[in-house]
Amino acid sequence: MMARVHVMLKDGVLDPQGEAVRHALHGLGFDGVGGVRQGKVIEIELAEGTTEATVTEMCEQLLANTVIESYSIELI
């Protein structure tokens, strides 16, 4: 089993990387882009019997800075 964790900055937190991507897209002629938020995806191979609660604990302790980031977990 695998877990896919999506980590994004919370609403209201400035995203300079997303702004840089937005600016670059405009420079390439993609004028229909209003805003960009950049995040990360972490894929974890889980040992048999590992629960979603354990993955949540991983996120809370290491994978996401929960002060400024939110996360979602997808078990696949």
pLDDT score for 31: 95
Q: Which residues contact 2 (CB under 8 A, 6 or more apart)?
A: 43, 44, 45, 46, 75, 76
| Domains assigned to the chain | 2-75 (3.30.1280.10)
* 17-72 tens-digit pLDDT: 999 999 999 999 999 999 999 999 999 999 999 999 999 999 999 999 999 999 99
59 exposure class (CB count in 10 Å sphere: 0-12, 13-18, 19+): buried
